């Protein structure tokens, strides 16, 4: 039985900078909410981002189908997203709305496979200053049929 909602989670914790740095978003075994992304019918809701270790104030982001970042799937953010202070040592975070887009995986139609790994994406993030560590990044989704869509 397929899941009606879930998220893809960053599989690494890269150090960010003022140029875009990527992290694979995929199903992970660490949490039951992490579920492979369906090839169609999934509404992309939002990105949950948490960084630590710096005083950076804002981030920019986009999502690609591929690991090189040249087959863009969503974004980039229309403006830098302000991070808020979170409890803990030098921890900040934000939610980035994806405007409930419903993309269809390019390889799902049997055409050219722009997606490097089926069911996974890559998020690209840069910050305005410093070198924070991306400690959490999740891309939340749900099936359009489960929310009256």
Q: Give the per-residue pLDDT at 97.
A: 93
- Mean pLDDT for 144-149 is 61
Q: Distance (Å, rounded) from C-alpha 141 to C-alpha 80? A: 22
The tens digit of pLDDT for each residue in 85-133 reads 999 878 999 999 998 888 877 765 554 557 777 778 999 999 999 999 9
- Can you list the domains of the chain with their CATH numbers? 5-146 (2.60.120)
pTM summary value:
0.87
Block residue for tokens 């039985």: 1
pLDDT band at 4 (very low <50, low <70, confident <90, very high): confident
Contact criterion met (CB below 8 Å) for 129 and 55: yes
Burial of 140 (0-12, 13-18, 19+ CB in 10 A): middle
- Do residues 76 and 125 lie in contact, with contact meaning Cβ atoms separated by under 8 Å? no
């Amino acid at each position: 039985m397929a899941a009606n909602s879930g998220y893809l989670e960053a599989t690494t914790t890269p150090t960010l900078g003022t140029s875009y740095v990527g992290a694979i978003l995929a199903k992970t075994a660490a949490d039951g909410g992490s579920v492979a992304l369906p090839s169609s019918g999934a509404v992309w809701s939002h990105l949950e981002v948490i960084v630590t270790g710096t005083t950076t104030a804002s981030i920019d982001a986009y999502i690609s189908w591929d690991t090189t970042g040249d087959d863009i799937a969503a974004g980039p953010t229309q403006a830098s997203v302000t991070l808020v202070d979170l409890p803990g040592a030098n921890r900040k975070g934000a939610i980035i709305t994806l405007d409930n887009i419903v993309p269809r995986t390019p390889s799902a139609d049997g055409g050219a496979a722009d997606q490097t790994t089926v069911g996974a994406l890559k998020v690209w993030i840069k910050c305005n200053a410093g070198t924070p560590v991306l400690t959490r990044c999740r891309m939340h989704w749900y099936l359009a049929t489960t929310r009256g869509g």
